Amino acid sequence: MQSEDSRVNVTEYPKFKNDRGVTEIQIGVKEFKCAGVAAPHDHPHIYLNMGGADSIICPYCATRFRYNADLGSGAIPADSVFEE
């Protein structure tokens, strides 16, 4: 009996948080996860994809994320990058 390879291809996306409570965070990626705020008060870490748009609003915390290609993997404010 042959067994199928059950490994799943998992992609890790950068995560961002909004501890400052700002209305907009600039980020250098279009696919990412939003955590809301730092643990233990975070919301589910959800995947967001801007697609062809230049911004997206998180449905949990209402933070607007705006794409800024100059940032690479960074963010403005800089402390919005979620470190695990």
Answer whether residue 2 is part of any domain.
no
> Which among 52, 42, 38, 45 is positioned nearest to 13, based on CA atoms?
45
Task: Quickly state the pLDDT bin for 73 (edges 50, 70, 90).
Answer: confident
Look up the pTM and report it: 0.86
| CA gap 71, 28 in Å, rounded | 4
Q: Per the domain annotation, does 30 fall within a domain?
A: yes
| Residue 83: predicted pLDDT | 87
In the chain, the number of structural domains is 1
Domain that holds residue 66: 15-77
Q: Name residue 26's beta-bridge partners.
A: 66, 76
User: pLDDT at residue 9 above 90?
Assistant: no
Is position 9 within any domain? Answer: no
CATH number of the domain encompassing residue 68: 2.60.260.40
Q: Name the percent of the chain lying above pLDDT 70.
A: 89
Q: For residues 33 and 35, what is the distance between their CA atoms, to the nearest angstrom? A: 6
The pLDDT value recorded for residue 15 is 96
Examine residue 25 and state whether it is found in any structural domain, yes or no.
Answer: yes
